[in-house]
Amino acid sequence: MTQIPDDFGFQADHGTLRQMARRLLAERAPLSRTRELCERGGDDEGHAFDSGLYQDMVGLCWVGLDIDAARGGMGMGALTLSLLLEQMGRVLLPSPFLACSLAARALATVTEPRTAIDDDDEEEDESGEGDDSEPSTLDRIIGGDCIATVALSEPGRGAAGLALDYAHVQTSAAVDGDDTLVLRGEKNHVMWGTEADLVLVPARLRDEQRLGWIAVPLPCEGVEVSPEIGIDPTRRTARLRFDGARLPATALVADADDAERISRELLARGLTMVAAEVCGALEGVLELTATYAKERLQFGKPIGAFQAVKHPIVDVMVDVELARSLAYAAAAAIDAGVDDDEQLQLARMAKVKACEAYHHAAGRGVQLHGGFGFTYDCDVHFHVKRALFARATLGDATLHRRALAAALFDGDTRRAALAVVERGGLTLSM
Amino acid sequence: MTQDRTEALREFRAELRAWLADNRPEAPSFRLPQSFLEVESDAQFEFLRDWQRRVYDAGYLGFDVPEKYGGQGVDNDKKRITVQEMVRARTPFLVNVIGLHWAGPTILMYGSEAQKQRMLAPLLRGDEIWCQGFSEPEHGSDLASLQTRARPSADGERYHVSGHKVWTTLAHVAKWMILLARTGSEGQGSPAAEKSSAAKYAGLSYFLFPMDAEGVTIQPLVKMTGEGGFNQVIFDEAPMPKDALLGKEGQGWQVAMTTLAFERGAADPAARERGAQLVALFERLASLAARIERDGAAVIDDAVAREKLVALRIEAEALRWSGVRAAVPGLCSERPMVLPLMSKLTISEFNQRVTDLAVELLGAEAQLWLEDAHAIDAAEWPRAYLNSYGFTIGGGTSEIQRNILGERVLGLAKSK
Ligand SMILES: Cc1cc2nc3c(=O)[nH]c(=O)nc-3n(C[C@H](O)[C@H](O)[C@H](O)COP(=O)(O)OP(=O)(O)OC[C@H]3O[C@@H](n4cnc5c(N)ncnc54)[C@H](O)[C@@H]3O)c2cc1C
């Protein structure tokens, strides 16, 4: 049985990459730059993120870092990507990097794209591989020519949000004629949907019996992209309405089992990546708060000398470390190729732990900055807002706790747990 | 690691595993203590001591002690493997906890040749049990202010100890005590001078005190569970030879800090196994929730209970991987020392949360105590909940741990 290695698969060159990322981002994207971007509504090119920096990240091969070399990526693991995202989180980098990484991953997952038109049809190779005249979508994402994103959520799901599997997706793709798909439905909270050149959309196919993933180029007739007005100024999201948008059959990048596989993989990877990014943001808010506690004097001493200030900061630090261990473990589980269910369980845990800890830490951050913390001038509000955003991304804590409870406490697992006790011999100790 | 070495270690592990399978003691008829806070009766103590002897005699104890002092020769790999395999085989704990983990390593660091020759072998075999005399009724967290005195005799051959130590675990079965006492010579000894912070530390010395000395009274203390297991020790001009001193006079604080570092758990060679133990503790809780009912339905099917259980399960997993990560420096670069420094705090508080949730889920059943025939799991959950405070207080309270983390790791201003 595969298990996570004792060293999490960490190698020295991962450390080098992290150092480099840290230095680059400290120079190019400190929080002051993020603030400036947010206040000006974008960069000089009219992007809501720093598009120059994004192109430099593309140049460093960060986009596609975890994609197989054979498909044009760097062939590095989820842990490496996590270490990068952690550094981006630390400065609250406004960037479609995560959305693009997930979209690239989803495309790379599909080995045999199929058409939805006829089940018995011979399989056509639509991947574009071996056809070097025109770069594939994946190539264009990795090369920085295409900002891509994934539509993970539907309004019909309400507070639960996440709609990735057949049971929850309501958007439909009907077949019209031989080679046309007609999309109807609505997606919300689409990360960087307003900036995207391409969105991957999960939809119920034809007879509504299967899930499919459809690549929709933007802009597109019959697709209305409306920006959402979000609480987190470092993130852009959109609501997408598909009102009979017509797409060629080749837009179907994955069908049935392949589609469910993309969904599972996107969920496990996505949660793991969000957890890593949030761990970085946690580090950021901890630093901000600890620094203030050393500098701000009241009653003749730094406020950090008061235990009512010191101990909550320590609790935040402890949480950061615990969250980080889980985030790395979740990434290492993916790299080691442990059992799918275990990967997903760890990913859910990592995401919940990181986001709950972050929400708490950001709140303490405001409180411990006093009146200054309540002002727009103090950076800590960026964290409060990012924490709300992160909690809502890819399913909230309630959704994941419920899924975990079902996996951990029901059916066979419960029978196994009871058997352990019948055998006896477990100790209650430290 | 050479191929031969790897092969040798593999063989060692296999032999040990086989030995444990054959020798792991059967559960006794009485309650087997699960930690050193719970050793009460002679029968319990002898059972545990016998286990330690067998492990030592079989050659599986003392991989941190050179052979000439009765150890197996320093071998970190074998030490790690034995800890791992014992955790895995769920053997009883080795009863001479304070000796093996705190006193022994401290003696190895600061002891004279004669002290190492004399003390270490019987310590390893469990023939001589150790206790720790640091805390006093008036001085617990503020350890450096302690007032027990060790006065040199006129002929310089011995010291006489007077004072009062308290919460002394295992003192009732101990042959030796690691004792922290004030030796401040004349002049230094004035109360005013001792209040000044530098003198407070400089006046302390560290001794290996024989518990069978005259003038020593050991009084059992009753724990909040109503059970025994720890003590107070009163010294009335109790004599010890001058070579009871460990290190130099006045060096006591430095030596004691070494002991506390061992006590609070430096890098753990069996992090993965211990992590698995934490998850196993949680699983016991989950199985409790699956067995008990509320209005005809299993508690584990209750939505509120499930949320709370999952939250703790996530915590267990985070602690598990933190233990493993502590051994990967490249993944601890943000704050290199923090994981070992926070483990005492986080594990003791996790233990408390698990047992606390157990008594919550037990609802109306939680109030039944040990002897009640209807008590679920013989009331071990409410007992474990009460005992959980032993771990959040003993060995430096959670509050003190938070001070240490805030000041040493984050660099926040001292609270004093
Ligand atoms: C089960 C158990 C076993 C023990 N075994 C031993 C043993 O074998 N040998 C031994 O020497 N001792 C032993 N002890 C004693 C233990 O080390 C002390 O109880 C502990 O250090 C706390 O000291 P105290 O009891 O005097 O509490 P106090 O120091 O009086 O503390 C009371 C409360 O005030 C808080 N407090 C104190 N100072 C501060 C501060 N600066 N900042 C914030 N909060 C503060 C504490 O956290 C605590 O909540 C044991 C204790 C227990 C519970």
> Are A296 and A400 part of one and the same domain?
yes
Cα separation, A96 vs A146, in Å, equals 11
What's the total number of domains in chain A?
A: 3
CATH number, residue A68:
1.10.540.10
At A313, the amino acid letter reads I
CATH number, residue A294:
1.20.140.10
For the cut 70, the answer to whether the pLDDT of residue A29 exceeds it is yes
Task: Provide the pLDDT confidence category of residue B76 given band limits of 50, 70 and 90.
Answer: confident
> Are A191 and A163 part of one and the same domain?
yes
For the cut 70, the answer to whether the pLDDT of residue B189 exceeds it is no
Average of per-residue pLDDT values in chain B:
91
> Are A234 and A311 part of one and the same domain?
no
pLDDT at B265: 59
| Beta-carbon separation of A346 and B317 below 8 A | yes
For the cut 50, the answer to whether the pLDDT of residue B284 exceeds it is yes
Q: Between residues B343 and A317, which one has the greater pLDDT?
A: A317
| Beta-carbon separation of A328 and B325 below 8 A | yes
Average of per-residue pLDDT values in chain A:
91
Q: Which of B40, B227, B263, B349 is flagged as catalytic?
A: B263
The verdict on A403 touching B (C-beta cutoff 8 Å) is no
Which residue, by CA, sits nearest to atom 40 of ligand 1?
B400
> Are A263 and A226 part of one and the same domain?
no
Of B314, B327, B331, the CB nearest to A353: B314
| Beta-carbon separation of B93 and A304 below 8 A | no
> Are A247 and A270 part of one and the same domain?
no
For the cut 60, the answer to whether the pLDDT of residue B194 exceeds it is no
Q: Is B392 in the pocket of ligand 1 (CB under 6 A)?
A: no
Cα separation, B260 vs B242, in Å, equals 24
pLDDT at A4: 96
Ligand 1, closest atom to CA B396? 21
CA of B142 to the centre of ligand 1 (A): 8
Q: In the predicted model, what is the mean pLDDT of residues A172-182?
A: 90
> Are A274 and A400 part of one and the same domain?
yes
Ligand 1, closest atom to CA B399? 47
For the cut 70, the answer to whether the pLDDT of residue B31 exceeds it is yes
Which residue, by CA, sits nearest to atom 35 of ligand 1?
B399
Lowest mean pLDDT among A171-185, A317-331, A346-360: A171-185
The per-type count for chain B, helices as H runs and strands as E runs, is 14, 10
Q: Between residues B1 and B294, which one has the greater pLDDT?
A: B294
Set out the domains of chain B in order of their start, with CATH numbers.
3-95 (no CATH), 130-249 (2.40.110.10), 264-409 (1.20.140.10)
pLDDT at A174: 93
For the cut 50, the answer to whether the pLDDT of residue A118 exceeds it is no
Lowest mean pLDDT among A22-26, A313-317, B32-36: B32-36
In a domain, residue A22? The reply is yes
> Are A113 and A161 part of one and the same domain?
no
pLDDT at A121: 42
Lowest mean pLDDT among A42-46, A308-312, B205-209: A42-46
The per-type count for chain A, helices as H runs and strands as E runs, is 13, 10
> Are A156 and A113 part of one and the same domain?
no
pLDDT digits (tens, 9 = 90+) for B302-356: 999 999 999 999 999 999 999 999 989 999 999 988 998 999 999 999 999 999 9
Cα separation, A374 vs A298, in Å, equals 18
pLDDT digits (tens, 9 = 90+) for B112-161: 999 999 999 999 999 999 999 999 999 999 999 999 999 999 999 999 99
The reply to whether B128 belongs to the active site is no
Q: In the predicted model, what is the mean pLDDT of residues B349-365?
A: 97
pLDDT at B192: 54
> Are A90 and A109 part of one and the same domain?
yes
Decide which of A231, A255, A279 is a domain's last residue. A255
Task: Provide the pLDDT confidence category of residue B196 given band limits of 50, 70 and 90.
Answer: low
Task: Provide the pLDDT confidence category of residue A109 given band limits of 50, 70 and 90.
Answer: confident
- Contact assessment for residue A170 and residue A185, using Cβ atoms and an 8 Å cutoff: yes
In a domain, residue A284? The reply is yes
pLDDT at B11: 96
CA of B146 to the centre of ligand 1 (A): 13
| Beta-carbon separation of B283 and A426 below 8 A | yes
Task: Provide the pLDDT confidence category of residue B184 given band limits of 50, 70 and 90.
Answer: confident
Task: Provide the pLDDT confidence category of residue A116 given band limits of 50, 70 and 90.
Answer: very low
Q: Between residues B337 and A186, which one has the greater pLDDT?
A: A186
Take residue B258 and report the two structure tokens written for it. Answer: 């070494």
pTM over 0.90: yes
pLDDT at B87: 81
Contacts of A399 in chain B (CB under 8 A): none
In a domain, residue A127? The reply is no
Task: Name the phi and psi angles at A202, rounded to 5.
Answer: -80, 135
Cα separation, A141 vs A60, in Å, equals 14
The verdict on A306 touching B (C-beta cutoff 8 Å) is yes
For the cut 70, the answer to whether the pLDDT of residue A422 exceeds it is no
For the cut 50, the answer to whether the pLDDT of residue A181 exceeds it is yes
The verdict on A425 touching B (C-beta cutoff 8 Å) is yes
The verdict on A293 touching B (C-beta cutoff 8 Å) is yes
Decide which of A118, A134, A167 is a domain's last residue. A118
In a domain, residue A54? The reply is yes
For the cut 70, the answer to whether the pLDDT of residue B195 exceeds it is no
pLDDT at B186: 38
Give percent of chain B above pLDDT 70: 95
Contacts of B72 (CB under 8 A, 6+ apart): B59, B60, B61, B62, B63, B65, B78
Of B311, B342, B412, the CB nearest to A310: B412
Long-range contacts of residues B223-229, Cβ cutoff 8 Å, at least 24 apart: B223/B37, B223/B386, B223/B387, B223/B390, B224/B386, B224/B389, B225/B383, B225/B386, B225/B387, B227/B38, B227/B40, B228/B40, B228/B172, B229/B37, B229/B38, B229/B39, B229/B40, B229/B169
Ligand 1, closest atom to CA B169? 8
In a domain, residue A110? The reply is yes
Q: Between residues A32 and A130, which one has the greater pLDDT?
A: A32
Q: In the predicted model, what is the mean pLDDT of residues A257-267?
A: 94
In a domain, residue A414? The reply is yes
Decide which of A222, A255, A288 is a domain's last residue. A255
Which residue range is the domain that position A289 belongs to? 258-422
| Beta-carbon separation of B412 and A304 below 8 A | yes
pLDDT at A126: 46
pLDDT at A55: 97
pLDDT at A120: 43
The verdict on A358 touching B (C-beta cutoff 8 Å) is no
> Are A251 and A284 part of one and the same domain?
no
Q: Is B394 in the pocket of ligand 1 (CB under 6 A)?
A: yes
In a domain, residue A210? The reply is yes
Closest CA to B32 of B50, B19, B17, B57: B50
For the cut 50, the answer to whether the pLDDT of residue B236 exceeds it is yes
B380 min Cα distance to partner chain A (Å): 9
pLDDT at A123: 43
Take residue B263 and report the two structure tokens written for it. Answer: 């006590």
pLDDT digits (tens, 9 = 90+) for A189-219: 999 999 999 999 999 997 668 999 999 999 9
pLDDT at A413: 78
User: Which DSSP state fits B408?
Assistant: I
Lowest mean pLDDT among A177-186, A289-298, A417-426, B228-237: A417-426
Give percent of chain A above pLDDT 70: 91
Where are the extended beta strands (E) located within A206-261?
Answer: 210-217, 223-227, 237-248, 252-255
Q: Is B168 in the pocket of ligand 1 (CB under 6 A)?
A: yes
pLDDT digits (tens, 9 = 90+) for A223-240: 999 999 999 999 999 999
Q: Between residues B282 and A1, which one has the greater pLDDT?
A: B282
Calculate ∠ Cα A205-A110-A75, nearest 5°: 155
> Are A72 and A163 part of one and the same domain?
no
> Are A247 and A265 part of one and the same domain?
no
In a domain, residue A308? The reply is yes
| Beta-carbon separation of A428 and B34 below 8 A | yes
pLDDT at A239: 98
CATH number, residue A192:
2.40.110.10
